[in-house]
Structures are given as structure tokens and as C-alpha cells.
Amino acid sequence: MNDYEKASSGSFYLFLSQVIAFIGDIAALIIFSAYIEANLTHLGNISNITSIYGFNTTSVTAYNASNLIVHVPIALIKEMLGAFIVLVVFGTAVGFTEILLMVYGWKKLSSFNSSDYHTPYIGSILSFIGFILIMPAALFVLISVETSFESLYAFHTLPPQLLAMTLTAAIPIFLGILMLLAGYIMVLIGYWRLGSQFRSSLIKAAIILLIISIVISFFSALLLLLSQVLELISVLLLTVGLYSVSKKAKLMEGQPVQSS
């Protein structure tokens, strides 16, 4: 396999990783929206709760925003936790596939041009390790909370065993977040370099929009929807840009490699 053939192959694997991520996000959104719609009345009661003043084995008794008494079935809250666990499991499977494709893609690109793409290759490995640390620990905590839910409400506090397990799981979660963050930054640098080397304005625009979406999401909850829209647009631009780079590199086979 010659140099630009490696670049074409690597870019295509990155393209596939973005396709998997996009499909996974849409599927998760559809599943979550369907669940919200199916339980709209009860979830409205939960979202309007202003103060809780009573518990029993079957429901949580509280005041809503209109100061009316509402009874939220504990079974429904447990069902919500169960649905969230399903989404986390689904997200884990999608994320695992996405990051594996990304690692393989950056490995190919690193063998094509090590000076430009070794950093994002290392970043993708860090992201993979961080993901492996976070997801099982987070899933373990969620399942533990779901199975201990009745005792959690009965004693109005975290059971000692659950508290110990949560604190233990916090260690790999914290380390995983640090590794994911470092890896994410290194991968973004790699995408920018790829866009520069192959003169892809789509990839550069996608990275700029993604950074803007991350920044504005910290300012206000009202901007969260705008942030999500910008992120979706950036993923689409990045997907199209990676596919075009893969095709462009295929046409450049036999030419000398130029750095970004």
C-alpha cells in the first residue's frame, strides 16, 4: 500500500467512525423522545416538583410548581433509571465501535505522515482507554442505584455499600475523563492538520463549529439547544469532508507526500 493509499484508507475509516456516531446519536434521540412521549404526564409531574415531603414503598409525595400535591410512583422513577441504563449500554456499544474505527484510521494516517498524524493517533488511543475506564464504572453505578432504589428512599440517604461503590467507581471515571479530554484535543488537532494538508474547508469549518458549540454550552442552559444544533452541523460537515479527503487522496497516489 503506497503513501496516499494509506491516507485514503485512514480517512475512510475516520469517515465510517463519524457515520456510526451520527447514526447512534439519531437512534438514541429517537428512543429517548419516544420514551418521553409515552410517559409525558408522569414526567411532567417529576419535572415540576419543587419540594419533596414524603416517601413510602410505592410513591414519592411532593409539591409541584403550582403547589399541588403530586404522587410520583417509585416504579416509574425506577423505569426511568432502567431506560437511561439501556441508553448508556447502547451508547457504549456505539462509542466503542466509533473509537475503534477512529484509532485504526489515525493509525493508517500516522503511517502515511507520522510528523502530522502521530499526535492524533496517540490521542485516539487515550480516548479509547478513557472510554473503557468511564463506561463500565458509570454503568456499574447506575445499575447499583437502580437496584438499591427502594432502600435509598426508605432511609433518605445513600446506603453505606452504595456510597462506597460510588466513591470507588469515581476514581476510574475521573481518570477516564482526563484521558478523554486530552485525547479529544489531540484528535481535533489532527483533524485540523488533515483539513490543511488536503485543503478541505469542510473539515476546518466543522472543527470551528464544534469548538464554538462547546464554548457556548458553558454559558447558559438557554444556549444548549443552539450548541446541539451546531454540533450536529459540525458532525455532518466533518463526515462529508472526510469522505472527500478519502477520494482526493485516492487520486493523488504516486505523488510525493506534502506536510500540512
48-70: average pLDDT: 43
110-143 pLDDT, tens digit per residue, is 999 888 999 999 999 999 999 999 988 888 877 7
Q: Burial, 46: exposed, middle or buried (Cβ in 10 Å; 0-12, 13-18, 19+)?
A: middle
Please tell me the predicted confidence (pLDDT) of residue 35: 64
Rounded CA-CA distance 124/251 in Å is 27
Span between the terminal Cα atoms of the chain, in Å = 21
Contact 70, 64 (CB under 8 A): yes
Q: Which of 71-80, 119-128, 171-180 has the lowest mean pLDDT?
A: 71-80
Contact 18, 241 (CB under 8 A): no
Instruction: Tell me how far the alpha carbon of residue 187 is from its chain's centroid.
Output: 15
Question: Among 24-28, 78-82, 151-155, 244-248, which range has the highest average pLDDT?
Answer: 244-248
For the chain, the average pLDDT equals 77
pTM of structure: 0.76
138-151: average pLDDT: 71
Q: Where are the alpha helices (DSSP H) in the chain?
A: 3-38, 40-47, 74-112, 114-147, 149-155, 160-197, 201-216, 224-251
Give the pLDDT band (50/70/90) at residue 238: very high
Rounded CA-CA distance 123/110 in Å is 12
